[in-house]
Chain A
Amino acid sequence: MSTGSLIAMFLVVGLLWGGLTVLIVIALDREKKKSSD
């Protein structure tokens, strides 16, 4: 694979799957706080 394609793959996959993971982690954290309250 060319370097350009690899960078694009890293960015798109990182943004979507990485972003989704971060959002889920935040939601998990907030749920934990709500349940402890």
Chain B
Amino acid sequence: MDRQRHDRRRAFGNSSETVGRQGPPQRPGVPLGRKMVNRELLEQFTSRWALLISMVGIAVGTGNIWRFPRIAAKYEGGAFLIPWLVFLFLWSIPIIMMEYSMGKGTRKGTIGAFGRLIGPRYAWMGAFVGLVSTAIMFYYSVVNGWCLRYLVLALSGSLQGLTADGARDMWNELIHGYQPVFFHFLSMAAGTLIVYRGVIGGIEKANRIFIPSLLVLLLVLLGRAVTLPGASGGVQAFFTIRWEMLLDYRIWLDALTQNAWSTGAGWGLILTYAVYMRPGEDTVLNSAITAFGNHSVSLIAGIMIFATVYALLPLQAREVLSEPGPLNTGLAFIWIPQLFSKLPGASLFSILFFLALFFASMSSLISMIELAVRLLNDAGIRRRRAIPVVGALGFGMGIPSALSPSFFLNQDWVWGVGLIVSGALMSFAVLRFGVCRFRESYINAAGNDLAVGRWYDVLVRTCIPVEVAALIAWWFWVAAQADPEGWWNPLRVESVGTCLFQWGAALVILLALNRWIARKTLGE
């Protein structure tokens, strides 16, 4: 205990008074003017591995377990893996590098990072990135609550012997009642408590439990899945590449979307944790490990889900895997409970699955809470005061999503696509600052294990803007096709109009408050 206290004090002592302005820290240890220094000293992750585990915790979420297999199944398995891997290098890794470097270099949350990098008049961009992730936190806590509810059901044995109708009834009863509010409260309270205990004692400690446990749970489930009779059909389907699928542009856009939503690139969460990196810590190799770690977990989940579904429901496998189901969660909450109930030791495997799902979502949720806390802390609100405020706000603002599936879908649509805008704003910041200058002074900073070459400049200048434009245009086109008459209507659940209206309202407010936001955060 004493040792922990000593370590924590040491971490506080080394911390981020070493902030830079319009560039990374030039000389670590040199404090800037009073206004520029964070009002509270920053904790730091105790080791590189603690940092990496926490970063992987951000990236690995429910999307790895239930979205990735579904989208892979949509394109009949293997073909999807090719563009998914291509965009690992063309989207995820370059943007994750931006986030690591901006957080480490500026030692500020999203608003301060944008302000420091390209000037206070762009603080609103950082605020928009922070707002998108915070809006996601509001309903993501509800998702975490569902996972918790199903974990409780699995523990109590209520998932045993479920029929198809029984599983649907159970799900409908959950989402149309008041239970999600209670479990959303528990989820938000647990996340807030973890963040309240600090970066080392809370976030790092929790991720040290969540992420290794998640990996072990997934590997146990994978081992069980691939040894089921008939599982090889699922593994074969997962790795069978139908080359003609690659000619369909939608597979490329879906793969890019999966990268944008699954790795955490452009969310501002990695940037937030990077604020707590030790000085002289690597950014390039850590970015690659984070992205590869996330995709590796997706691969485990994909093989496990395909093998289980093909072994237990070979005739319906394609339909089960690719059906989005209610609120896009059909696989996790409708099919998996039924499938596991057919296995010997059913309740054990259901418990393991929902525990894995809960750990995955919880590790992401705490990073979203930390992002909002960091922004308030940067604005001068003491951390201990900011945390309950974020917790209460998160619970209150999540209630509509917990009570109304339509509201949930609307928020998921608006802010999910908003993440692509966040990625675009981050790339804009780097372009505005100068990609080459950013690479030399922020990414290839002292202490890096690997250096990034000029290829990075080309990627940020050409590929990422094209990817952003293609994704936004495509999602809007899909929405317009699905609702040709009401696509412009801001009151429709998944329309172009609702996206533009909510983003527009947020942008108008943030632009109007820009000077105040910048002054509070940057002290200028």
Chain A residue with minimal CB distance to B298?
A16
Query: Would you call A2 an interface residue if the criterion is a C-beta within 8 Å of the partner chain's C-beta atoms?
Result: yes
Any chain A CB within 8 A of the CB of B156? Answer: no
**B449 A1 Cβ-Cβ under 8 A:** no
Asked if A27 and B296 make an inter-chain contact with CB atoms under 8 angstroms apart, the answer reads no
Q: Is the CB of B81 within 8 A of A12?
A: yes
Q: Are B241 and A23 closer than 8 Å at their CB atoms?
A: no
Nearest-CB distance from A23 to chain B (Å)?
Answer: 5
Residue ID in chain B nearest A12 by CB atoms: B81
Is B288 a contact of A8 with CB atoms below 8 Å?
no
B472 within 8 A of A: no
Complex: how many Å from CA A10 to CA B507?
47
Contacts of B236 in A (CB 8 A): 1-2, 5
Q: Which residues of A contact B48 (CB under 8 A)?
A: 27, 31
Q: Which residue of A lies closest to B88 (CB)?
A: A16
**Distance in angstroms between the alpha carbons of A12 and B241 in the assembled complex:** 11
Q: Using a CB-CB cutoff of 8 Å, which residues 219-258 of chain B contact chain A?
A: 232, 235-236, 239-241
CB contacts under 8 Å to A, within B449-491, are 449-450
Contacts of A8 in B (CB 8 A): 78, 81, 239-241
Give CA–CA (A4, B296) in the complex, Å.
21
Question: Are the CB atoms of A9 and B289 closer together than 8 Å?
Answer: no
- Which one of B232, B282, B292 lies within 8 Å of A20 (CB-CB)? B292
Interface size, B (range): 20 to 34
> A9, B292: Cβ atoms under 8 Å?
no
Chain A CB within 8 A of B85 CB: yes
Size of A's binding interface in residues, CB under 8 A: 20
Q: Tell me which residues across on chain B come within 8 A of A19, comparing CB atoms.
A: 292
Contacting residues of chain B (378-430) with chain A, CB-CB under 8 angstroms: none
CB neighbours of A6 from chain B (8 A) = 239
Residues of B within 8 A of A5 (CB): 78, 235-236, 239-241
Q: Are B282 and A16 in contact (CB under 8 A)?
A: no
Within 8 A of B (CB), among A1-33: 1-2, 4-6, 8-9, 12-13, 15-17, 19-20, 23-24, 26-27, 30-31
Q: Please state if B299 and A4 are interface contacts (CB–CB under 8 Å).
A: no
Question: Cβ of B449 and Cβ of A9 under 8 Å apart?
Answer: no
Distance to closest chain A CB from B294 (angstroms): 10
What is the chain A residue whose CB lies nearest that of B302?
A12
Say how far A35's CB is from chain B's closest CB, in angstroms. 11
Bound CA–CA A20/B85 (angstroms): 13
Shortest C-beta distance, B450 to chain A (Å), equals: 8
With a CB–CB cut-off of 8 A, which chain B residues contact A9? 235, 239
Q: Is B374 an interface residue (CB 8 A)?
A: no
List the A side residues contacting B67 at CB < 8 Å: none
Check A27–B81 contact: CB distance below 8 A: no
Given the known interface contacts A8-B78, A16-B292, the answer about A27 and B285 at a Cβ–Cβ threshold of 8 Å is: yes
CB distance from A6 to the nearest CB of B (A): 8
Which residues on B sit within 8 Å (CB–CB) of A24? 289
Q: Is B104 an interface residue (CB 8 A)?
A: no
Separation of A27 and B286 alpha carbons in the complex (Å): 8
B85/A12 in contact, CB under 8 A: yes
- Cross-chain contact A30 with B232 (CB below 8 angstroms): no
Select A1's contact among B232, B285, B286, B450, beta carbons within 8 Å.
B232
Residue B293 at the chain A interface, CB threshold 8 Å: yes
Interchain nearest-CB distance for A11 vs B (Å): 9
Taking CB atoms, residues of chain B closer than 8 Å to A2 are 236, 240
Using a CB–CB cutoff of 8 Å, the interface residues on chain A facing chain B are 1-2, 4-6, 8-9, 12-13, 15-17, 19-20, 23-24, 26-27, 30-31
Q: List 28 A-B contacts (CB under 8 A).
A: A1-B235, A1-B239, A2-B236, A4-B240, A4-B241, A5-B78, A5-B235, A5-B240, A5-B241, A6-B239, A8-B240, A8-B241, A12-B78, A12-B85, A12-B239, A13-B299, A16-B299, A17-B299, A20-B293, A23-B288, A23-B289, A24-B289, A26-B285, A26-B449, A26-B450, A27-B282, A27-B286, A30-B449
